[in-house]
Amino acid sequence: MAYIAPETRLRELTPVPLLVGAVLGLIFGASSLYLVLKVGLTVSASIPVAVISITIFRLFARLGGRDATILEHNIVQTAGSAGESIAFGIGVTMPAILILGFDLEIARVLLVAVLGGVLGILMMIPLRRALIVAQHGVLKYPEGTACAEVLKAGANAESRAAASDAAKREQEALGGAGTSARTIFTGFGIGIVYKTAMSALRAWKDVPEKVFGAPFSAASVSVEVSPELLGVGYIIGPRVAAVMFAGGVLAYLVLIPMIAYFGSALTTPLAPEARALIRDMGPGAIRNAYVLYIGAGAVAAGGIISVIRSMPTIWHGLREGLRDVSNSTAATVRDTVRTDRDLSIKLVLLGIVALLVALVGASPLYVGGTGFGTRIAAALLIVVFGFLFVTVSSRLTGEIGSSSNPISGMTVATLLLTCLAFVLLGWTGSNYYVTALSIGAIVCIAASNGGTTSQDLKTGFLVGATPRSQQIAIVVGALVSALALGPILLRLNAAGTVYVSASAIAADAPGGTALTSGETVDVRTLARRESVDGLMADGSTDSREYWVWHKQDPSGGNAEKYLVDDAGKPVYFVDPGINGSIRKLANGQDVPKFDAPKATLMSYIIKGILGGKLPWGLVLLGAMIALVLELSGIPSLAFAVGVYLPISTSAPIFVGGVVRWAVDRWIARKHVGRNLTDDELAAEGDKSPGVLMASGYIAGGAIAGILIAFVAGVPAMAGLNRAIEAMSANNPLFSGPMADALSLVPFVALIAVLYLTGREKLLARPATGPS
């Protein structure tokens, strides 16, 4: 029974909640983009957005304004949830453009985000009755159901008065529930202050590290003591966090020291490394040259296995969706009940046709020799794969939740099938790289947004919302996020970009590997000029414009970007902020870098199939690792991501998982007399204040990281940076023999606050009544 009855009229799709939802969606979308670039993961934003909405409007009412109804709060969370799904799709795919050797142009990013976001929503609309209504009680939609409970608990007096009699009796039986946003706002503030002190003011070292010597040479352990990664670990839970950290242990305490041990006697470089000897390489260099390919192979195999494992569900969902689309179409015309009113199916079909036309005519999605026939084929592939994986994503979200939905695996499958189709048609080579990636990117965003849309519609179904209003709200939220997250992505890359003298590169300085000494290029083959937009490795400045040259690595490694003068001589090697290697300048300044693990995987798939150049031996080793794990009953995808990521990233996630494990044990003891099932205990853990504090950590730390990255290269900050450098040089928490140990002290305090909040020792919610 819906909380608000179908015949009840209550304020719903009004301008202020729609605006608030779009703004909150942008904030959480930006933090999700930051996370997916760092670790390849995001967390659902629906519940935090709902809690913040309740608090904002309640505060507004106390100041003399009008409080929002439960249906208006639902519009806020619906519009706000779109940012996270758009951010995931952008972060998983678009950085691969850089790795493949093309410019990350704003028009291309915006087109992919807008077309994918809208396509996912439109394709989900005809499936609503089949998945949300007909499967009610079968498909649980855990996050959507939890969000509905939050909205019910925070309903204002007007909403409670308008609730159905059955809903009132249910709330009375439950005795009410407390919904406090104080916890999430506190976590947000702690995250911002902590991250700013650590990363901007250098109050303590951000990555304590221990590198071992003989007989365990090249082995190392490290931890990035950041609030956002700690929060991610708490939310995803101990099981996934531990499996991911195990992948990091294999990479840094097994594979890297093993490669160093067996390669120490070599007198020539070992492919794919072309210049350095293994005995002269540190842990980071060995990881970049060899282990990244092993990790990419493991991630690819894990993604494919996850899709294969889901094939029964995929087939069932597709069959049911196709069967019920015609019924849903007829019902749209026939039904007039408010809670069963969708956007017109004619409008949906017209929208899909318009998207098809846009896909064919969108020139930024295609590069090189891709003619009109290629564009039509690409558009058709997007629609076919889009409908398939939107249906699959929507159903899997209902069964296992959005956090466990294997969107990246679906993207891998899309890229594999697309690339194989291109090979059969003879469309190989770098001309077709961007076309294949654009198909995968749009399908990825569509599948991600389709799953989010279905989750929001489930929340609306439970609270008694009008589907049409929600569908409009999520379109608005998706468009706002799509238009804003593209520029944020480009700025994050520019903020971490480092320009290194090409002469230093030729002299074997850290940086590029594909350039040979004295190499030049014919500038007549180059199409674009640009000036320096980032940090200069030597601290100099340069306002001149240069030709842009992307050089492909013949060994199959990442393409490299150079700025060349009018004579065709390379002047600067451009190390990007995304997937770059230069993380510290000569003056000791840290450079904000992003590993973008999922995007790197996508680039490897495209290069391997269309380019035919990839160190397949290392990739297949990773695939075999994934196969061994699956045969052992261990989920390989999370483990593979851990192999690919730095151990400094997976370690704080593991710590967050341990904190969640400790809190969950306390919750089990607290409810020991109620004989709750494992699922019910898990639900209690998901509703604990620790989850809200962790969400605040994630949002605060990620937003601070974005702001710090944005101002890092601003010339006006040069004087402040020099003052900070001078202070940090004498700060024992940042430099000196005890810095690694002392920098753990603030992190332990952060852990303690999270644990005590989860135990309801800090910021405890009221036992009854909404706060």
> pLDDT category, 555, cuts 50, 70, 90?
low
For the segment 51-103, what is each residue's pLDDT rounded down to a tens digit? 888 888 988 888 888 889 999 999 999 999 888 888 888 888 888 888 787 77
Of the given ranges (170-174, 185-189, 194-198), which has the lowest mean pLDDT? 170-174
> pLDDT category, 333, cuts 50, 70, 90?
very low
Quick one: tokens of 594? 């992003």
Higher local confidence (pLDDT), 50 or 559: 50
Residue 124 pLDDT greater than 90, yes or no: no
Q: What is the mean pLDDT of the chain?
A: 81
pLDDT of residue 216: 92
Q: Which residues make Cβ contacts (< 8 Å) with residue 514, sequence separation at least 6?
A: 551, 552, 553, 554, 557, 559, 560
Cα–Cα distance for residue pair 98/595, rounded to 1 Å: 12
pLDDT of residue 474: 92
Of the given ranges (94-108, 261-275, 386-400), which has the lowest mean pLDDT? 386-400
Cα–Cα distance for residue pair 107/93, rounded to 1 Å: 15
Q: Are 561 and 505 in contact (CB under 8 A)?
A: no
Q: What is the mean pLDDT of residues 138-143?
A: 71
Quick one: tokens of 529? 């000029």
Cα–Cα distance for residue pair 8/4, rounded to 1 Å: 7
pLDDT of residue 360: 86
pLDDT of residue 530: 87
Of the given ranges (207-216, 302-311, 397-406, 651-660), which has the lowest mean pLDDT? 397-406
pLDDT of residue 173: 43
Cβ neighbours around 19 below 10 Å, total:
14
Q: Angle at CA 604, nearest 5°, toward 599 and 605?
A: 100
pLDDT of residue 584: 78
Residue length, the chain? 771
Q: Three-state DSSP class for 676?
A: coil
> pLDDT category, 561, cuts 50, 70, 90?
confident
Residue 288 is given by DSSP the state I
> Cα(first)–Cα(last) distance of the chain, in Å?
25
Of the given ranges (165-179, 230-244, 379-393), which has the lowest mean pLDDT? 165-179
Residues 516, 593, 642, 265: is their CA dihedral positive or negative? Answer: positive
For the segment 402-434, what is each residue's pLDDT rounded down to a tens digit? 655 667 767 877 887 888 888 888 888 777 888
> pLDDT category, 469, cuts 50, 70, 90?
very high
Quick one: tokens of 52? 């913040």
Q: Are 244 and 641 in contact (CB under 8 A)?
A: yes
Cα–Cα distance for residue pair 651/201, rounded to 1 Å: 23
Q: Three-state DSSP class for 342?
A: coil
DSSP for 155-222, please give it: --HHHHHHB-HHHHHHHHHHT-----SHHHHHHHHHHHHHHIIIIIS-SS-SS-EEE--TTSTT-EEE
pLDDT of residue 554: 60
Q: Are 341 and 468 in contact (CB under 8 A)?
A: yes
Quick one: tokens of 502? 């090409």
Closest CA to 105 of 436, 364, 482: 364
Q: What is the mean pLDDT of residues 522-533?
A: 84
Quick one: tokens of 329? 């179409």
pLDDT of residue 590: 74
H or E stretch covering 535: strand 535-536
CA 342 to chain CA mean position, Å: 30
Quick one: tokens of 524? 């007549």
CB-count burial class (<10 Å; 0-12, 13-18, 19+) for 146: buried
pLDDT of residue 713: 54
pLDDT of residue 507: 45
Higher local confidence (pLDDT), 515 or 298: 298
pLDDT of residue 519: 79
DSSP for 384-400, please give it: HHHHHHHHHHHHHHHHH
Q: What is the mean pLDDT of residues 191-217?
A: 90
DSSP for 542-573, please give it: ---EEEEEEE--TTS---EEEEE-TTS-EEEE
